[in-house]
Amino acid sequence: MLRVFNDISQVRVQNPVVTIGIFDGVHLGHVEILRRIRKLAPAYKGESVVITLWPHPRFVLQPDNTELKLLTSLDEKIRLIENQGIDNLVILRFTTKLANIPYDQFVRDYLVGRVGARHVVVGFNHHFGKDRKGTFENLLKSAREFNIQAERLDPVIIDNVRLSSSGIRHMIEEGRIVSANKALGYPYFINGKVVPGNKLGRTLGYPTANVMLDEPLKLLPRNGVYAVKVHVAGHSLKGMLNIGFRPTVESDRHERTIEVNLFNFNSEIYGEPIHITFHEWLRSEVKFNSLQELRDQLTLDKAEILKLFRTKSSNN
């Protein structure tokens, strides 16, 4: 059972083996680090500890930059870390004050002084402390000073690509969902709530659930149609999802919408929490000349998605 600390001064852990980072997405590169601290902890008769920074440092250091979107909300990140069997998670509030602490002072006051780290594990590109001067070489220097161990893991490479949260964000922004899922180690997902829409889908024979994200800063894939799986109101369903501006019916709309048609499902689910996993990008969003053209295309989309899931099922 994961213990979560929102105040680092409250941490009381026996012989902690520690890692620190943002861990946005908790992708396969992060998983290697988490597995390592989990494996090392018994050798110290201790426990694994993850220190994660929240909010994302770029939101604090570049407040006018609105381009960054998150792979995972804080709650989602907590659940993914818990799934890796970690003992303790410390949520360290990132502030400009914290950003200005020199790396050696951070090791002394936080990693050793407050957490009591015996062994620290970091990723291949990890930097910390003021002006990011906390390189691995400087971490080793501080570790020797405080008689603790430190190690750096090699990068994880999949399909000749070195895994990183920023790289996975680019994949998702470009609609390369299959590649992103491979790098993440799980299907990319969003969580939200079903909200009322204009009910046009019903008249087309393809009713849709309109989704409002739980985390407004969550990264949405590129506009278009996706093969998805959905968990809502106790049901696990397949479906097709559209992200975009609905140009056929609302050509002047400037706000992106998320609409999902659930296959073989017609119940009312307004207000229900909804969990959606993305499995493949199907096509771009298109402005059709008529609603009949749109209906015909939706029929083709559904058939293609069902075929896709059947193929995946048989391959597995």
CATH number of the structural domain 187-315: 2.40.30.30
Q: Which amino acid is at 242?
A: N
In b/e form, how buried is each residue of 118-154, taking b as 16+ CB within 10 angstroms?
A: bbbbbbbebebbeeeebbbebbeebbeeeebebebbe
Structural domain spans, the chain? 12-156, 187-315
**CATH number of the domain at 12-156, out of 3.30.1340.30, 3.40.50.1360, 3.40.50.2020, 3.40.50.620?**
3.40.50.620
C-alpha span between 88 and 80 (Å, rounded): 13
Are 295 and 206 in contact by the 8 Å Cβ rule? The answer is yes
Q: Is the pLDDT of residue 156 over 70?
A: yes
Q: Provide the total of helices (H) and of strands (E) in the chain, helices listed first.
A: 10, 14
Give me the sign of the Cα torsion angle 171, 248, 307, 309.
Answer: positive
pLDDT at 65: 87
Using one digit for the tens of pLDDT, what is the confidence trace for 7-24?
999 999 999 999 999 999
Using one digit for the tens of pLDDT, what is the confidence trace for 185-238?
999 999 999 998 776 667 788 999 999 999 999 999 999 999 999 999 999 999
- pTM to 2 decimals? 0.94
- Pairing state between β 224-232 and 235-244: antiparallel
**Is 187-315 the same fold as 12-156?**
no
C-alpha span between 16 and 35 (Å, rounded): 14
Using one digit for the tens of pLDDT, what is the confidence trace for 42-87?
999 999 999 999 999 999 999 998 899 999 999 999 999 999 999 9
Return the SS3 of 240. strand
